[in-house]
Amino acid sequence: TNRKGANKQDMCRPSGQTETFLGVGLSFLHFDWRKIMKKVGIVMGSDSDLPILRKTMDTLSELGIPYECHIFSAHRTPEEARDFALSARKNGFGAMIAAAGMAAHLAGAIAANTTLPVIGIPCKSTHLDGMDALLSTVQMPPGIPVATVAINGGKNAAYLALQIIGV
């Protein structure tokens, strides 16, 4: 389905909205989407990645998907990144998005410490037009999968996370 032509209500239900569905036996079932919707965890290597992730956060907000955003570096704060990834499922996350430029080890570092799906956003930097980040994000060893979107592909990362969490 073409995302631009799709109705937002057909793609998701905003956090906090209660819907009524006709259930078995013609009874009504009520669902509070806040209780069943998983959050998306967003991690960036540095605050310089924020303009790219702003597209991700804006898209998730428009679609009513809850998220948390943190700055962790695979090189400068590896313990914090590891702890966040290890506790992500317990803390209600359904998918993770990691964005970084240059060596871009962040998505792999997150994926190595969680069984949740991880989406990598390679960020364009002044060096190599982001190709270094793209190759570092795509070339993960067996057993450490990272779904990778285009260089600076913040919007597509949000849509992919939406599809993964099954909204």
pLDDT in tens, 15-29: 443 333 334 444 444
Q: What is the pLDDT of residues 60-114, one digit of tens each?
A: 999 999 999 999 999 899 999 999 999 999 999 999 999 998 867 899 999 999 9
Number of alpha carbons in the 13 Å side-chain half-sphere of residue 77? 13
Name the pLDDT band for 35 (thresholds 50, 70, 90).
Answer: low
pLDDT, averaged across the chain? 82
Q: Specify burial of residue 27 (Cβ count, 10 A radius: 0-12, 13-18, 19+).
A: exposed
Stretch 133-153: mean pLDDT: 95
**Predicted TM-score of the model (pTM):** 0.78
Tell me, what's the pLDDT at 5? 42
| 8 A C-beta contact, residue 161 and residue 99 | no
CA atoms within 13 A on the CB side of 143: 2
Phi and psi torsions of 100, nearest 5°: -160, 155
User: Do residues 20 and 26 touch, judged by C-beta distance below 8 A?
Assistant: no
Q: Are 37 and 161 in contact (CB under 8 A)?
A: no
CA distances from 49 to 40, 43, 95, 101 (A): 17, 10, 19, 8
